[in-house]
Amino acid sequence: MRRDVFQAIADPTRRAIIALIALQAMTPNAIAENFDITRQAVSKHLRILTECELVIQKQKGREIYYSLEIEKIKEIDKWLEQFRKIWENRFDQLDNLLLTLKNKKDEK
């Protein structure tokens, strides 16, 4: 079953895992050491992130390492960019309004 990437990043634990492996590839055990959840729970989160193509697995000897799939993160960022521009525009409008109100107050 193909999962939606936004469902994957909606979970705070999965976001924390993404932030953790963004720094370096890690094994499931190394990832689990950073959380107060079972190793099985971490594996479930990693499976979901893998299904969404947010992380990739690489076998090195007997260990599996998980790392961030940068291109998929870029896709999310590109989608979010449209909203970032809207909010920046609204904040600019708010700044201008506050400046206008302050100037009117100072004139009195």
pLDDT tens per residue across span 70-108: 888 888 888 889 898 899 999 999 999 999 988 888 887
Which amino acid type is present at position 4? D
Model pLDDT, residue 4 = 81
The answer on 61 and 11 residing in a single domain is yes
Taking alpha carbons only, the member of 8, 11, 12 closest to residue 73 is 8
The answer on 54 and 23 residing in a single domain is yes
The answer on 90 and 54 residing in a single domain is no
How far apart are alpha carbons 24 and 26 in whole angstroms? 6
How far apart are alpha carbons 86 and 60 in whole angstroms? 44
Model pLDDT, residue 3 = 73
Model pLDDT, residue 2 = 63
Model pLDDT, residue 1 = 56
**Is this prediction's pTM over 0.85?**
no
Contact yes or no for 23/34 (Cβ under 8 A) = no
The answer on 96 and 61 residing in a single domain is no
How many domains, the chain? 2
The answer on 57 and 81 residing in a single domain is no
The answer on 43 and 95 residing in a single domain is no
How far apart are alpha carbons 22 and 103 in whole angstroms? 46
Question: At residue 50, does pLDDT exceed 70?
Answer: yes
The answer on 60 and 30 residing in a single domain is yes
Range(s) of the domain holding residue 56: 5-68
